[in-house]
């Protein structure tokens, strides 16, 4: 038989782990196990410390205080929201009141102007009334003078007609009644 030649090809670096022998693999696992134990123990100790601290009275008190703070905070937020709504309502009322005030002020100014106009008109009418009173007074004086003049002239006529005519008594009565009627009309 012919000799068999085995040729070992160069192994790439990435495949080196495959080419390791089983004893080398065991050594690596042993080292990894040794290194893992302190890490796991460290994590376990840290976990135990955390659990102990988390269950401590101070931590429980802190948790209760935090819950109370959340409760108070939510209550304050509700009160703040309610206060803001009330403030908005009050501001709306103030705006309405301001509009009403402006309207009432304008109305008051119109009423003042109308009142001033009425006062001026009243003064003008008062002046006209005074003028009319003076005219009436003058007319009354003139009427009195006319009456006196008519009475004087009628008396003169009566005396002259009675003395000159010597008329019968029935004929004198008619002019007297006429004079009295005229006098009543003038008065």
| pLDDT (0 to 100) of residue 133 | 82
| pLDDT (0 to 100) of residue 39 | 87
Taking 70 as the pLDDT cut, the residues of the chain under it are 1-20, 160-175, 187
| pLDDT (0 to 100) of residue 168 | 53
| pLDDT (0 to 100) of residue 36 | 86
Contact 141, 180 (CB under 8 A): no
The span from the CA of 153 to the CA of 143, in Å, is 15
Q: What DSSP line would sit under 24-92, residue for residue?
A: HHHHHHHHHHHHHHHHHHHHHHHHHHHHHHHTSHHHHHHHHHHHHHHHHHHHHHHHHHHHHHHHHHHHH
pTM (2 decimals)?
0.37
Contact 119, 144 (CB under 8 A): no
For residue 9, give Cα distances in angstroms to 12, 15, 22, 126: 9, 12, 20, 140
Domains of the chain, by residue range, sit at 56-152
pLDDT per residue as tens digits for the range 24-38: 888 888 888 788 888
| pLDDT (0 to 100) of residue 140 | 81
| pLDDT (0 to 100) of residue 91 | 95
């Amino acid at each position: 038989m012919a000799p068999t030649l085995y040729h070992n090809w160069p192994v790439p670096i990435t495949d080196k782990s495959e080419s390791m022998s089983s004893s080398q693999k065991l050594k690596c696992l042993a080292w990894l196990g040794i290194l893992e134990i302190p890490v796991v123990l460290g994590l376990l100790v840290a976990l135990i410390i955390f659990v102990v601290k988390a269950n401590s009275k101070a931590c429980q008190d802190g948790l209760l205080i935090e819950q109370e703070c959340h409760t108070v905070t939510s209550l304050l937020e509700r009160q703040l929201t309610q206060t803001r709504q009330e403030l908005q309502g009050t501001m709306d009322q103030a705006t309405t009141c301001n509009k009403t005030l402006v309207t009432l002020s304008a109305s008051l100014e119109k009423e003042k102007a109308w009142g001033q106009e009425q006062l001026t008109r009243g003064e003008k009418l008062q002046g006209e009334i005074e003028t009319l009173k003076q005219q009436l007074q003058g007319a009354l004086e003139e009427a009195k003078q006319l009456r006196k003049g008519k009475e004087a002239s009628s008396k003169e006529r009566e005396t002259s007609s009675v003395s000159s005519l010597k008329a019968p008594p029935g004929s004198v009565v008619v002019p007297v009644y006429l004079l009295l009627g005229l006098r009543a009309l003038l008065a």
